[in-house]
Structure 1
Amino acid sequence: MPPMKNPRVGEVRPSQVIFSYGVGALVDLPHLSVIVMGLDDWTVDGGLARVIEEERLLRAVRSQLGSQVQKLLAPPALPPGNGPVDPFSDLARVGVPVALFPRWMLCPRCQRLSPLSSGLFTRSRDDAFHPERTRYVHVGCEEGKQPIVVPARFLVACEHGHLDDFPWVEFVHRGPTTCATQLRLIEYGPSGEARDLVVRCDTCERSRQLSDAFGEEGRARMPKCRGRRPHLRDFDPQGCAQQVRAILLGASNLWFGDTVIALAIPTESVKLAQLVESKWTSLQQVPNEQFITVMRGMTPNPFSEFIGYSDNEIWQAIERRRAQAQSGESDDPVDLKGREWEQFAHPASHTPSKDFRLREVAVPSGFTQPIARVVLVERLREVRALIGFTRIDAPGEIGANPEGSEQRRMTLARKAPAWVPAAEVRGEGIFIQFDEAAIQQWLSHEVTERREEQFRASHTSWRRARRIEPPEADFPGMRYILLHTFTHALMRQLVLECGYNAASLRERIYARNPKEIDGRPEPMAGVLIYTAAPDSEGTLGGLVGLGEPEQLRRHLQAALRDAMQCASDPLCAEHEPSVRGTTVHAAACHACLFAPETSCERGNRYLDRSVLVSTVEREDLAFFQ
């Protein structure tokens, strides 16, 4: 039986295509390693890729990628409840395209190392009912009968997002060669580390330890980056002057999704205007009122949510929204948090919708001085769009400087994309607004200013060590460090009682100094702790219930009490912001403040228990007395 064309090789959840296995990411399957291909290879026609409506986020994406981006699409997937699918039908091919990478494979029996293009390894018979069994075998192995080969677990990458196979031939021969190479990767120790691995050429009997490719000295020996973009099947036309570095297959810094996140909030107070705004991605193409009349008679009806409104009313609302867009009367697309802050800081004036509902409650007794407002977010919808990815350094480490971010962000397609993948989740949360006068008073203390200079120096060293220019840019300041630390301390406490695991809680920090942004002089000092789930209804009120005054008071007291001591004290409390470029945190560690990387905006940086409460090391920095 001949091999199937474009066989299925595995499956992941649609949301993982945004968070973990986006374009350019490597997916480790039972017997293979594959790379998710660029948007040029995706099939999104036929209604299998659902349009996600969120106009604010779409404008933010356009500001980053260009005005040609027309919509946000969920990854292509079969609709729920479709029933069993014939594995030999076209529907069974619905999904995200991938390609084998790395192309070099290793036979674990005879230790032969060779690229797939050599023909040494053969794909075994496809199993349509068990796609996870897809594999390659070494038919002519002298050590056994057709052993299953595995991907070579070493690659090379650079800070500009390029990825390539490890240069095995050039590495073992210490440069270009005309040798008719036959390689083996021999393991001399049980550890599996690079120092126990030797690459040997059977033809010329040259060999070299793999450890020579690692470390600063090893990186200097590696060749220049070729600018390879395997997810686009090409090489960067602009080339690349970076030095590649050896990296392990499956390393955590091999892929970081660069995403833009927005909460779906109503920007209009009239219900019809809200509906038009929420569906604007689709409605902006409506040519006239007659088109609405015709489409309302179709099945399915794209205007099913406009029940109670005439065709003329809908058309007039579309015309008003179109005129507003043409006149430029809209929010700053980059400042997504600004509009969210306006809603949270003034909950009485918000307009409830099916995806956004707020309820203000009293500030817990004993915390009325540092905390100005507590708002329970009973419903929220988070939409996240993937606009690119980075390697080696996460986008949050690069910072908000557009020039530095775009230089290191790898594109999703060969041409400017007309759409980007997105995912939406629904949930609930707790918003806590701090008193601005208390924040300003704490920031004015001399000891706080000295601590800020320590963090600033650590921030600069961190960026300089990672060759991020300019190294002193994008420092968040002590306001952010205070709010960030408070959020981590409270999240750890809430996890103990809310029933969700630590990775399901997320943070959103609203920190802005007065007059930091032209035209928006209002400072921001607040935090949103929320949870969201990819199902249709989201969560069930467990987190909101912990925001009631008495419950929240108990959790705030417990969180601050626990922050005073750490199981790693006194070492944790004595930790200062590093000037060696290794860390950008002070009194914080895995035993007290660190959160899962999916929960934290800044990768567990800019944290310091001593800015919250007194520790065994110092008492003069504490915001909470």
Structure 2
Amino acid sequence: MARYKKTKGSAPKRADGQIRQSQMITTYGPGAMVDLVNRSVVIGGLEHWGYGRDGFDALDDARLRRSLIPRLKALDPNLDLAPSGYFRMAPECDHMDASPRVGVRALEFPRWFVCQGCRRLARAAEGFEQKSGRYRHQCSRNKTAHAVPVRFVAACKRGHLSDFPWASFAHEEGICDRPELYLIEGATGDVARIIVECRNCDSRRPLSQATVLPFECSGDRPWLGGRAANEPCRLKLKLLVRTASNAYFAQVVSAVRLPEPDPDPLTLRLRQKDIWDILQHATSIEQVQSFAGIPRIASAIEGHSMEKVFAALEKERGAGTTASERPLRSAEYERLTNAPTERPGLLADEGAEFAAFEIPPERADLPAGAQRLVIVPEYREIRVQVSFSRFDSVSANLQGEYDYGRYSVHPAVLTLPTGNEKWLPAAEVRGEGVFFELDLDAVIDWEQRDEVKERTELLLRAFEADGRGDDFPGARFYLLHSLSHLLLTAVSLECGYAASSIRERIYCAPAVDDEDKGMAGVLLTTGTTGSEGTLGGLVEEGRRLRHHLRQAWELGRLCSNDPVCAAHDPAAEASDRRLEGAACHGCLYVAECSCERFNRYLDRALVVPTIGNDPALAFFRERP
């Protein structure tokens, strides 16, 4: 982050700050603003990431790549991913011997500074002098004070970022010939008491009037470079506090590293060189039939119909891959629900990236409503940042994927779409987990209750009043999400890991017909990006699912904020929590690093009986 030279015979200076590699795809990714000791910077785009002679650490995952390519095209037609090296860890730097060639370059932003002495407001290059790495201002003949970055900038919902138009804002009726701006702040920090004034013409204006700006966004993208990186934009600029929680929302897509399934015997025979050299040219079933007269071909496809052989050829050639690709979480759910049964002495293969075992029913001791318990002793998850937004987060669909094509405002990109950087920053999490599945028939019966339908209508009205523009996730998701938070809290009390170190992964899909009953499961995981794994505490506690479900049931029955929490009406005109039913900081909210949905779409009344609500709403009406 900091540039410095190591002089001969002296100890090297330390960097201004440090950022973990895993944080470079979440909190501090490209386009994020970061406070250093004496100034503020914006993290550079992928063009500004350097890996030096050692090169990058690739975290490629073909399944996730296939899922992301069409979504990147919807974000910008010029975005693409390379055939290899398309997911990369952030570069690792030596903070004791920094080099501009290795690491992520940060660009100074904002460019306006304010004097801590006299409150003079000006561009750093125009109003202040730089000395010893800091900007200074000569307030008077006998007084010199340091200048610091102004804490207000301008941005739009597309992620564009620019300096706040201070001169234009202070002068409502035209800028004077020699602006001399000052930023006067009150003791309370209230924006109504923050005044921008020009002492040349005596113009004054409170910052509270900046909530609605008449200025159009110029499409600035300083994290990508200079003016050449700007793009047209017709949105209005909005005031943004650099360090506010809504200044940066990273869109991260993750996928569990699933080993590719072993090919069937027919595919193995078709892959033999002498067989493949002939059959790879077959473009129809009739051509396959004509090749069947060759003895070695006839021996390879013996016992299989011509239609099956041609389908295997098409799959091997890669034709129709996009059409047949399973959504991310559907493929993971299928693998989890078809995990082999755990047996004494059965261990995961050495070096395995993923291993899951179903606990037999006689040992799982599952209560009514729960159908399957699976432990995951070997777990790896790849997380990739795709884009970012400001002011509002962008919701993923139930598969954890972003449908950019249907958003009215597209998020910002991490690299120039027409540039040469055809990769995305990524991190790999290694750890363990426990998965449980609800009884799908019980879930469907619960969804058909009149009380649940009425509650769903209430939540839907509140969701529509919120005006987010996303798809309503449905009562099934509210149930799974709320149950996940309750169980996460209950498990963390005994598993040895803090609640903030446990993360949920929800598998939810509505029923389609009697054959396809959708998905209804939750995977709780814990892991890190900097070690080989964890200590097994979550897996061992997962075997006691009934015990933890009982604890979760007790936790959800009563909230410290009841009856106010239980009686919350999200559709009420005065409600400020449109996306939650009976949920608050006293019962369901967890650390945001543990939750996939920023503590939204929660309602414990759908899980357990609560004060003032019909017990028929609860999926677990009786204590497990």
Range class of TM-score, shorter chain? 0.7 to 0.9
Residue 447 of structure 1: SS of its match in structure 2? helix
The residue number in structure 2 matching 1:478 is: 475
Shift of 1:121: 2.2
Aligned residue identity for 1:455: L
Aligned residue identity for 2:441: A
Shift of 1:408: 2.2
Structure 1 pair 575–123 and aligned structure 2 pair: CA distance change class (3 A): same
Q: 1:168-195 deviations in whole A, cap 9, x for unaligned?
A: 10111015424311111112x3112212
- Cα distance in 2 for partners of 1:527, 1:514 equals 17
The residue number in structure 2 matching 1:384 is: 383
- Cα distance in 2 for partners of 1:27, 1:244 equals 21
Residue 28 of structure 2: SS of its match in structure 1? coil
- Cα distance in 1 for partners of 2:260, 2:369 equals 30
The residue number in structure 2 matching 1:302 is: none
The residue number in structure 2 matching 1:430 is: 434
Does residue 1:574 correspond to 2:576, yes or no?
no
The residue number in structure 1 matching 2:305 is: none
Confirm or deny: 8 A CA contact 1:375 1:432 kept in the other structure.
yes
Aligned with residue 241 of structure 2, among 237, 248, 258 = 248
Residue 407 of structure 1: SS of its match in structure 2? coil
**Farther-moved stretch of structure 1 (533-542 vs 104-113):** 533-542
Shift of 1:35: 0.4
Q: 1:171-221 deviations in whole A, cap 9, x for unaligned?
A: 11015424311111112x31122122111112112111112213xxxx1x4
Residue 207 of structure 1: SS of its match in structure 2? strand
Confirm or deny: 8 A CA contact 1:75 1:96 kept in the other structure.
no
Structure 1 pair 142–150 and aligned structure 2 pair: CA distance change class (3 A): same
Does residue 1:64 correspond to 2:71, yes or no?
yes
The residue number in structure 2 matching 1:345 is: 337
Residue 340 of structure 2: SS of its match in structure 1? helix
The residue number in structure 1 matching 2:148 is: 150
Does residue 1:528 correspond to 2:523, yes or no?
yes
Q: 1:97-122 deviations in whole A, cap 9, x for unaligned?
A: 1111111111111111111231x223
Residue 171 of structure 1: SS of its match in structure 2? helix
- Cα distance in 2 for partners of 1:572, 1:143 equals 60
Aligned residue identity for 2:168: E
Does residue 1:374 correspond to 2:388, yes or no?
no
The residue number in structure 1 matching 2:424 is: 420
The residue number in structure 2 matching 1:137 is: 135
Aligned with residue 194 of structure 2, among 180, 193, 197 = 197
- Cα distance in 1 for partners of 2:432, 2:366 equals 23
1:167-246 mapped onto 2 (5 Å cutoff): 167-187=165-185, 189-214=186-211, 219=212, 221-232=213-224, 233-234=226-227, 239-246=232-239
- Cα distance in 2 for partners of 1:29, 1:534 equals 24
Q: 1:65-98 deviations in whole A, cap 9, x for unaligned?
A: 247301334344348xxx88545xx4x6521111
Shift of 1:143: 8.1
TM-score (norm 1): 0.81
Aligned residue identity for 1:56: R
Aligned residue identity for 2:437: Q
Shift of 1:422: 0.6
Shift of 1:269: 2.5
Residue 203 of structure 1: SS of its match in structure 2? coil
Residue 199 of structure 1: SS of its match in structure 2? strand
The residue number in structure 2 matching 1:354 is: 352
Confirm or deny: 8 A CA contact 1:461 1:579 kept in the other structure.
no
Residue 531 of structure 1: SS of its match in structure 2? strand
Structure 1 pair 176–366 and aligned structure 2 pair: CA distance change class (3 A): farther
- Cα distance in 1 for partners of 2:61, 2:150 equals 42
Unaligned runs of 5+ in 2: 7-12, 74-78, 265-311, 343-347
Does residue 1:52 correspond to 2:44, yes or no?
no
Confirm or deny: 8 A CA contact 1:110 1:142 kept in the other structure.
no
Residue 154 of structure 2: SS of its match in structure 1? strand
Aligned residue identity for 2:411: R
Residue 550 of structure 2: SS of its match in structure 1? helix
User: Identity across aligned pairs (percent)?
Assistant: 34
- Cα distance in 1 for partners of 2:90, 2:600 equals 35
Structure 1 pair 572–366 and aligned structure 2 pair: CA distance change class (3 A): farther
Does residue 1:539 correspond to 2:547, yes or no?
no
Unaligned runs of 5+ in 1: 126-134, 272-319
Residue 528 of structure 1: SS of its match in structure 2? strand
Aligned residue identity for 1:556: L
- Cα distance in 1 for partners of 2:596, 2:140 equals 52
Aligned residue identity for 2:616: D
- Cα distance in 2 for partners of 1:147, 1:448 equals 64
Residue 381 of structure 2: SS of its match in structure 1? strand
Shift of 1:124: 3.1
- Cα distance in 2 for partners of 1:397, 1:148 equals 44
Superposed CA RMSD in Å reads: 3.2
- Cα distance in 2 for partners of 1:444, 1:196 equals 55
Does residue 1:609 correspond to 2:604, yes or no?
yes
Does residue 1:74 correspond to 2:88, yes or no?
yes
- Cα distance in 2 for partners of 1:419, 1:159 equals 24
The residue number in structure 1 matching 2:262 is: 269
Does residue 1:511 correspond to 2:511, yes or no?
no
The residue number in structure 2 matching 1:491 is: 488
Aligned residue identity for 1:24: G
TM-score (norm 2): 0.81
Residue 408 of structure 1: SS of its match in structure 2? coil
Q: 1:361-383 deviations in whole A, cap 9, x for unaligned?
A: 14577743201000011111111
Aligned residue identity for 1:69: L
Shift of 1:38: 1.2
Confirm or deny: 8 A CA contact 1:586 1:608 kept in the other structure.
yes
Shift of 1:552: 2.3
Confirm or deny: 8 A CA contact 2:563 2:612 kept in the other structure.
yes
Aligned residue identity for 2:618: A
Structure 1 pair 545–240 and aligned structure 2 pair: CA distance change class (3 A): same
Does residue 1:622 correspond to 2:621, yes or no?
no
The residue number in structure 2 matching 1:441 is: 445
Q: 1:246-303 deviations in whole A, cap 9, x for unaligned?
A: 12120101110111110101122379xxxxxxxxxxxxxxxxxxxxxxxxxxxxxxxx
Shift of 1:136: 2.2
Aligned residue identity for 2:617: L
The residue number in structure 2 matching 1:165 is: 163
**Farther-moved stretch of structure 1 (250-259 vs 53-62):** 53-62
**Farther-moved stretch of structure 1 (357-366 vs 598-607):** 357-366
Confirm or deny: 8 A CA contact 1:566 1:572 kept in the other structure.
yes
The residue number in structure 2 matching 1:286 is: none
Structure 1 pair 365–59 and aligned structure 2 pair: CA distance change class (3 A): closer
Aligned residues: 545
Structure 1 pair 365–53 and aligned structure 2 pair: CA distance change class (3 A): closer
- Cα distance in 2 for partners of 1:546, 1:506 equals 15
Confirm or deny: 8 A CA contact 1:75 1:95 kept in the other structure.
no
